[in-house]
Amino acid sequence: MLEVKQIQNGIVIDHIKSGNGLKIFNKLELNKTNSPVVLLMNVESKLLGKKDIIKIENTFDVDLNLLGLIDENISINFIKDGKVIDKKKVVVPEEVTGLVTCKNPRCITNSDDYLKPTFNLMSRENLEYKCSFCDEITKYKI
Ligand SMILES: [Zn+2]
């Protein structure tokens, strides 16, 4: 198995469904970070068969709502001085702002850059959210 150095300080995004790692990498814009980042793909997992893992050194800040939208199985380990100091499971967010754009072309939020709609979760299975401005239902897509 591929060996990757443990990170000393930072976060490990674990239990990513195989194939979602690269999507998360792009969504989190990790290509723009100056910190060391590792994306591991198709790692063997007891739980999932295969999984992806992302390790980011020197940061503790990730958008948990965004991760919850992409993959509900993800867990996040926070590492300090080489030890796990905290673990978090992501959940599908009940409410999101800024991550979803309204699919209604006449919605005011699509023509005004300053208006950010809040979306409320309508269906957990289908990731459907209702726009706070026009009540249109938008399905979140990765
Ligand atoms: Zn709308």
pTM of the full predicted structure?
0.86
- What secondary structure does DSSP assign to 35-96, as a single string? S-EEEEEEEEETTTEEEEEEEEET-----HHHHHHH-TT-EEEEEETTEEEEEEE----SEE
pLDDT above 70 for 68: yes
pLDDT value, residue 3: 66
Residue 21 host element (H or E)? helix 21-27
Q: Which fold has domain 10-89?
A: Alpha-Beta Plaits (3.30.70)
Q: How far is the CA of 8 from the centre of ligand 1 (A)?
A: 43
pLDDT above 90 for 123: yes
pLDDT, average across residues 94-106: 93
Q: How far is the CA of 19 from the centre of ligand 1 (A)?
A: 31
Q: How far is the CA of 136 from the centre of ligand 1 (A)?
A: 6
Helix, strand, or coil (residue 125): coil
| Predicted confidence band of residue 1 (pLDDT cuts 50, 70, 90) | low
Among 2.60.40.1930, 2.60.40.10, 3.20.20.10, 2.30.30.20, what is the CATH number of 95-139? 2.30.30.20
Q: How far is the CA of 119 from the centre of ligand 1 (A)?
A: 9
Q: How far is the CA of 28 from the centre of ligand 1 (A)?
A: 24
Q: How far is the CA of 89 from the centre of ligand 1 (A)?
A: 30
pLDDT value, residue 47: 81
Q: Residue 65: which residues within 8 A CB-CB, separation 6 or more?
A: 93, 96, 99
